[in-house]
């Protein structure tokens, strides 16, 4: 009996010691500062976002207007602990696709620096491929493919992995399906704006961040001239762009605005240009194809290249003249003329 009593006493003492140790461990754990997985509201500040379109010229309608706005915006936000190191490691913080940027704001976590990457595609609502997204009978929004890969919700989505395609690339999915395939050129016929803001630190009470956007596009205009420019089809094949077919019986010229293949580089350099091959050929009414040559032409940021195609003699490749002229949407550029296979380049003053 005495042995049993001693055994029970030992067990009781062991339980007391275990309980005391467990409580001590619990107390120590609770006393240790923890980093919450979801920060409290007090750790966030609200920052308003604004855009400055440096290439918008007199005559453009203001960004905020009463009629329907068909532009589409994409914004990626990255963060790094403040103060940022010389080579910061930017991690995805938030992402959003928007139809309107009026009263746009974002909740930023204190103690971090931020980098914003933004792009705008003019009339993207009509020109970009998109699909309506529904869930249980509820309309979620329009889902856009490249360059956004997102559903437009006019709200930022937080805590995401790196999302969306490369906003610094011209690659875009057009609202054009051929033989069951969505057309996705690297130089789409889209007017594109792009900008970055790096190293932004919000104040204790928030603030405002303004992202400067530059036009990262060029204009191309083709004019057929000569006695044979009134019939047939002029086919224009610009590298990495959609083919253009100009019906000469209806018009002798065609023009459009295109996005550069390397959007980010076009944003960094005001004098940015890309040189790439342009194939020209005439398809006569009887189906005969007359090659008009392959020409390496240079297209400059925020300028329109006017290509004069001489069609007096369409029995062989004809001379092609190229010049930068003022258009309604872009300023003057260079004047280039191709004579006898050689290019004569004349520099003129530009307004950047």
Domain CATH number, residue 300 = 2.60.40
At 259, list the tokens.
């996005």
Domain finish residue from 188, 215, 242 = 215
Domain finish residue from 180, 215, 250 = 215
Q: Is residue 12 part of a domain?
A: no
Q: How far is residue 71 from each of residues 129, 172, 185, measured CA to CA in Å?
A: 13, 15, 19
Domain finish residue from 151, 185, 215 = 215
Are 224 and 200 within one domain?
A: no
Q: Is the peptide bond before 147 cis (omega within 30 degrees of 0)?
A: yes
Are 189 and 265 within one domain?
A: no
Helices (H), the chain: 2-31, 124-127, 263-268
Are 48 and 169 within one domain?
A: yes
Are 167 and 257 within one domain?
A: no
Are 207 and 227 within one domain?
A: no
Task: Note the pLDDT of residue 161.
Answer: 74
Q: CA 23 from chain center: how many Å?
A: 56
Task: Note the pLDDT of residue 88.
Answer: 92
Q: Is residue 28 part of a domain?
A: no
Supply the DSSP symbol for 153.
-
Are 166 and 192 within one domain?
A: yes
Q: Is residue 2 part of a domain?
A: no
Tell me how far apart the alpha carbons of residues 259 and 270 are, in angstroms, rounded to a whole number: 15
Number of structural domains in the chain: 2
Q: Is residue 11 part of a domain?
A: no
pTM above 0.95, yes or no: no
Task: Note the pLDDT of residue 18.
Answer: 44
Q: Is residue 19 part of a domain?
A: no
Are 143 and 59 within one domain?
A: yes
Residue listed under structure tokens 């906003």:
167
Q: Enumerate residues 6+ apart whose C-beta is below 8 A from 57.
A: 329, 331
Helices (H), 115-250: 124-127
Task: Note the pLDDT of residue 204.
Answer: 81
**pLDDT tens digits for the chain (352 residues)?**
444 444 444 544 544 444 444 333 333 323 333 333 455 555 899 999 988 888 754 333 333 333 457 999 999 999 999 998 889 999 999 999 999 888 899 999 999 999 999 999 999 999 999 999 988 999 889 999 999 989 998 789 998 777 777 899 999 999 999 999 999 999 999 999 999 999 999 988 888 999 999 999 999 999 999 888 999 999 999 999 999 999 999 999 999 999 999 999 999 999 999 999 999 999 999 999 999 989 999 999 999 999 999 887 766 544 444 444 444 456 544 444 333 333 333 333 333 3
Tell me how far apart the alpha carbons of residues 320 and 63 are, in angstroms, rounded to a whole number: 39
| H or E segment to which residue 80 belongs | strand 72-81
Task: Note the pLDDT of residue 102.
Answer: 86
Task: Note the pLDDT of residue 164.
Answer: 73
Domain region containing 136:
41-215
Q: How far is residue 1 from each of residues 5, 6, 9, 14, 234, measured CA to CA in Å?
A: 6, 9, 12, 20, 112
Q: How far is residue 333 from each of residues 34, 215, 274, measured CA to CA in Å?
A: 59, 15, 14
Q: Is residue 189 part of a domain?
A: yes
């Amino acid at each position: 009996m005495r042995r049993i009593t001693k055994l029970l006493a030992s067990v009781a003492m062991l339980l007391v010691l275990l309980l005391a140790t467990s409580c001590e461990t619990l107390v120590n754990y609770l006393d240790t500062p923890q980093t919450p997985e979801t920060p409290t509201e007090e750790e966030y500040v609200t920052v308003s976002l604004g855009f400055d379109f440096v290439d918008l010229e007199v005559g453009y309608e203001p960004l905020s207007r009463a009629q329907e706005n068909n532009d589409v915006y994409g914004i990626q936000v990255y963060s790094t602990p403040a103060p940022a190191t010389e080579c910061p490691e930017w991690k995805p913080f938030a992402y959003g696709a928007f139809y309107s940027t009026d009263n746009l704001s974002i909740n930023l976590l204190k103690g971090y620096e931020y980098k914003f990457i933004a792009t705008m595609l003019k009339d993207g609502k009509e020109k970009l491929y998109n699909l309506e997204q529904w869930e249980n009978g509820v309309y979620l929004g329009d889902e856009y493919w490249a360059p956004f890969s997102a559903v437009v919700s006019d709200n930022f989505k937080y805590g995401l992995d790196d999302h969306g395609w490369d906003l610094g690339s011209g690659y875009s999915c057009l609202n054009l399906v051929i033989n069951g395939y969505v057309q996705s050129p690297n130089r789409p016929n889209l007017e594109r704006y792009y900008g970055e803001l790096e190293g932004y630190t919000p104040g204790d009470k928030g603030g405002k961040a303004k992202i400067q956007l530059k036009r990262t596009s060029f204009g191309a205009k083709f004019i057929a001239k000569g006695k044979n420019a009134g019939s047939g089809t002029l086919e224009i094949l610009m590298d990495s762009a959609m083919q253009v077919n100009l019906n000469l019986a209806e018009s002798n010229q065609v023009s459009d605005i295109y996005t550069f293949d390397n959007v980010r580089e076009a944003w960094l350099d005001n004098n940015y240009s890309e040189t790439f091959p342009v194939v020209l050929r005439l398809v006569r009414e009887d189906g005969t194809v007359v090659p008009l040559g392959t020409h390496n032409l240079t297209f400059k940021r925020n300028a329109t290249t006017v290509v004069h195609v001489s069609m007096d003699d369409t029995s062989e490749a004809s001379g092609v003249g190229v010049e930068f002229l003022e258009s309604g949407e872009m300023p003057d550029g260079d004047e280039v003329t191709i004579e006898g296979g050689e290019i004569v380049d004349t520099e003129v003053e530009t307004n950047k």
